[in-house]
Structure 1
Amino acid sequence: MTAQDRPTLDPRTAYDVISAEKYADWDPLLDTFDRLREETPLVWVEDPEHRHPPFWLVSRYEDAMRISKDNATFLNNPQTVVFSLTEGIEFAKSVTGGSPHLVASLVTFDAPIHMKYRKLTQEWFMPKNLRTLEHDIRELADKTVDRLIKAGPQADFCKLVSQPYPLHVVMQILGVPEEDEPRMLLLTQQMFGGQDEELNQSGMKDLPPEAITQLVAGAVKDFEAYFAKLTAEKRANPTDDVASTIANARIDGEPLNDRDMMGYYIIVAAAGHDTTSASTAGAMLALAQDPEQWARVREDRSLLPGIVEEAIRWTSPVQHFMRTAAEDTEIAGQKIAKGDWVMINYVAANHDPAQFDEPRKFDAGRSPNRHLAFGAGAHQCLGLHLARLEMKILFEVLLDRIETVELAGEPKRAKSTFVGGLKTLPLRVGVA
C-alpha cells in the first residue's frame, strides 16, 4: 500500500486529536470526532515534522470493538500502548534498555505471558472476593463524605471526594499503609497528569515534551523505589493483600523479575485510582446539572447502577490505547499494513451515535450500554468490578447524607490525551 492510498488527516485536525489542551475542551473535541466518524472513520495521522510516529485513528465503535477483541492481529507490543512523541519513545528506550514502555505491565504484555500475569491477581478483583471488602469500602466512603460535609456547603468534589476515595480503596487492597497514600496520589498525578500544570505538581506551566517525559520517568522511579521496599516487607512478613501476592508470585516456577514486578504494582496503584476518580466526578457532574435526577435516584436506588455505568461511558476516563498490527489486515474497508500503529480512541467510540442514541446526553436508563470504557477482549480492565462497586457504595452514602447538590462554579477538565476527566468540580451541597 502506498502513502497515496491512505486517507490522511489534515495537520490542524491532527493536532486536535493528539493535543492535551483539546481534551480539556470536551464539546469541540466531540465535534471533531463526529466529523471524522462521518467522513473518514479510519484515517492516517502523520506529522510532517516527524514529532510522533504515524498512526491510524479509529473513531467508530464497531471498529474499536473489533480491534479490542482481536488480540492476535492487534498487539500491545512492540510499540508503546500510549500515544507518545518520538522524543519520549526514544527516551523510554534509553532508560529501559530498548523497550518503548517506561513501565512493563499487564497493558504492555501480549499472549501468552499476559494471561499468566493477569491470573496472579484476577481472583482478587472478582465480585465474590470484593463482596468481602464491602464493609471496609463503605467505611472509607463514610469518612470521605464526612470531609465533604465538614468542608461545605461549598467545596471541590474532586479534591475532597473523587480523588482521595478511590485511592484509599485501592491502597487498602494493595496493602499500602494509609500514611503513604499522599505520596501515592502525588506519584499518580505525576504519571497521568504530566500534561496538566495543575496536576503534575511540577510548579511549571507549559512543560515542553522532554520535561513531561522526564517528569513521568521520575514518578516511575519513585514508584519503583517505594515498591522495592514494600516487596522486601511482604516477602519477610506476607499478609492477606495484593502486594503480598505480587511480591511472592511465580511465573513458570520463577519469581517475577524486578521490572515486571514493579510494573504490576504501578498498574494496580495508578490505574486503579485515576480512572475511577474520573468516572466518579463525571457522575456527580451529571447529577449536579440535573437536580431532578438527583431527587429521583434518592427515592429510587434501583437507578443507581445505570448512573454508574453511564458515568463510565460518558466520561471515558481511559481516552485511548494504541495497538500494533501483527499482520496485513483490513478495517472499515481500509488496508492496514503489518507494523502499522493504531489508536483506539475510546472517547470517539463511546460517543458513536450508531451505537448510542444521543451519545452526549447522560442517560441513566440507557440500555443496553455496551460501552468500551473498560476495553474488551483479553485486555479488558482487570478492576472493572471494583470500579463499579466503589462508585455504587460511594453514591449510596452520598444519596443518604446529601439532600441537594448543584454546581457552584465552572468545572474544569484535565489536559491529558491518555487518562482524563474533571480536575475540579465546585459544588454546593445541602445536607439531609
Structure 2
Amino acid sequence: MQDATLDQAIVDHKTYGTLDRQHVLFSMLRKDDPVHLTEPSGFRPFWTISKHQDIIEIERQNERFINAPRTKILSIEFENKVREAMAGRPMLVRAINHMDNPEHAKYKKITHAWFQPREVRRLEESIGSLARASVDQMLQKGNECDFYNDVAVWYPLKVIMLILGIPDEHGQRLLDITKAYFGGGDPEMQRGSDLIDATFAYVNFFREVAQERRQNPKDDLASIIATAEVDGKPIGEFETSSYYVALASAGHDTASATLSGGLLALIENPAEMQKLRGNPDLIPLAVEEMVRWVSPVKHFFRTATETYTLRGKTIKQGDNLLLAYPSANRDEDAFERPFAFVADRTPNRHVGFGFGIHACLGMYLAKVEMIAFMRELLSRVGSIDLTGDPAWTETSFVGGLKRLPIRFSRLH
C-alpha cells in the first residue's frame, strides 16, 4: 500500500466498518512503521502510533502529551464548521477527556466518587434487575432478534439513565441522539443528522435536565453535575452539558459495542462460550477479553508539548499523535495469539479503557454491568447462532456492530 493510500485509509470511516481491512492496515503499520507520519488529503497531519508499548509510554507522560486542542480525527472542512457553529471554539463539547491538569483533576473529582467500587456496589442490585429485564425482553421476542438493536443498545442506556436519574420515557430520544452522535460516516446510523446536529440535540436535552436538578436536586449523578463547583464557583453551562454528553454517550455506546461484539466472538468460538457456561466465574475475565477484542474506542489524539524521540522518529512540539487502540490490542508483542478470542485470557493488559490519568472514569461500572448481563444471558439462553451477516458501524472514533441477527433457544 502506497503512503497516500495508507494515510487515507487511516482516516476513512469505511476502514473501521470492515474489520479485516482495519486489522490488515494496522498489522502492517506495527510491523513496518509503528510511528507513522500520516498526511491524508483534507486533514491536518499527525503521527499514527500503533504499538501497545508506545501508546502506554505516551499515556504515562500526560504533561508531555496533552489532550487539548485536537481530540479526534476531523477533516479541516469539518473543523472549520465546528468553529463556525461554536463561535470560534475548536470543539463541540469540552468534557474531562478533553482537559489536561490541573483542570482535568478538578473536573474529574466532581463525579469520581460515584464511579468507585463502593458506590457501584450500591447499584449492583438495580443493575442486576436491568440485566434480568433485558434478557426477559430478548426471550419475549421468541427465538430470533437483532441482538445489537433489540438488546445491546438498550441495556447500557438503561444503566446510564439509572445513574443519571432520567425517566424511562426519554429512552428512545436519548438512543436516537447517541446513534447519530457516534454514527461516524455511516449513513445508516446518521439518518440525515450530523455530529454538530447530534451534539446540539444532546446539549439541549441535558440543559433541561440541569435546570430541573438545580431546582429539585436528587440523589443522582445528574444532580451532582448540575450543582457542581470548581474553585468555589459553579461550573459553566458549556462544561455542564459537556459532562452530561460525555457520560451518557461514551458510557452507552462503548458498552453496547462490547456486549454485541463480545457475543459475536462467543458465537464464532463455541468452545469459549462452553468454557463460560461450564464455569461462570470466568465471566469477569471474558468481559476484559471482549473489551480487548472489540476495542470500541478506536482512537484519541494527544499533542506533544516538547520535542520527543520515539523509535528514532522526531516528534516536534505541537505535533499531534493518534493513539490507535484496536491496533495496540492486537499487538503481537503484547499478547500471545492476539487474533484469538480467549475467554479466560490472563494476563490481559489491554488498553480498551485507555491508560494513565485519562483511563475511562466509568471503567468499573462498565465491567459490573457487562458481567451482570453475560451472567444472565449465559444462564438463561441456550444455543445462540447467527441468522445473517453481522455489520459494523463505519466510524473512526467510537463504535462496534450495528447489526447482529441471531437465533436462540431458552434454557429455562
Q: Which residue of 2 aligns with 1:190?
A: 180
CA distance in 2, matches of 1:225, 1:421: 26
Stretch moving more, 89-98 or 36-45 = 89-98
Q: Which residue of 2 aligns with 1:4?
A: none
Q: Which residue of 1 aligns with 2:350?
A: 371
CA distance in 1, matches of 2:85, 2:271: 53
- Match among 38, 44, 62 for residue 37 of structure 2: 44
Q: Which residue of 2 aligns with 1:283?
A: 262
CA distance in 2, matches of 1:387, 1:16: 31
Q: How many residue pairs were aligned?
A: 411
1:61-210 aligned at under 5 Å gives the runs 61-78=52-69, 80-202=70-192
CA contact (8 A) 2:276 2:343 kept: no
Normalising by structure 1, what TM-score?
0.93
SS in 2 for 1:199: helix
Aligned-pair distance for 1:409? 1.4
Aligned-pair distance for 1:9? 6.8
- Match among 381, 392, 405 for residue 413 of structure 1: 392
1:224-263 aligned at under 5 Å gives the runs 224-263=203-242
CA distance in 2, matches of 1:19, 1:235: 42
CA distance in 1, matches of 2:400, 2:339: 15
Aligned-pair distance for 1:113? 0.3
Aligned-pair distance for 1:232? 1.4
CA contact (8 A) 1:175 1:241 kept: yes
SS in 2 for 1:66: helix
CA contact (8 A) 1:9 1:46 kept: no
Aligned-pair distance for 1:239? 0.4
Aligned-pair distance for 1:28? 2.3
Q: Which residue of 2 aligns with 1:339?
A: 318
Aligned-pair distance for 1:40? 0.7
CA distance in 1, matches of 2:53, 2:259: 26
Q: Which residue of 2 aligns with 1:274?
A: 253
CA distance in 2, matches of 1:187, 1:412: 20
CA distance in 2, matches of 1:153, 1:290: 21
CA contact (8 A) 1:291 1:405 kept: no
Q: What is the one-letter code of the residue matched to 1:64?
A: I
In percent, how many aligned pairs have the same letter? 37
Q: Which residue of 1 aligns with 2:4?
A: 11
Question: Per-residue displacement from partner, 1:164-196 (whole Å, max 9, x unpaired)?
Answer: 100010111011111001111111111111411
Aligned-pair distance for 1:296? 2.7
CA distance in 2, matches of 1:327, 1:123: 34
CA distance in 2, matches of 1:38, 1:412: 28
1:307-318 aligned at under 5 Å gives the runs 307-318=286-297
Structure 1: stretches of 5+ with no match in the other structure: 1-7, 203-211
Superposition RMSD in Å: 1.3
Normalising by structure 2, what TM-score?
0.97
Aligned-pair distance for 1:123? 0.8
CA contact (8 A) 1:101 1:108 kept: no
Question: Per-residue displacement from partner, 1:350-399 (whole Å, max 9, x unpaired)?
Answer: 11000011111101121110111111111100011011001100011111
SS in 2 for 1:367: coil
CA distance in 2, matches of 1:341, 1:46: 11
Q: What is the one-letter code of the residue matched to 1:378?
A: I
CA contact (8 A) 2:269 2:341 kept: no
SS in 2 for 1:198: helix
CA distance in 2, matches of 1:152, 1:119: 45
Gap change, CA 1:9 and 1:347, over 3 Å in 2: farther
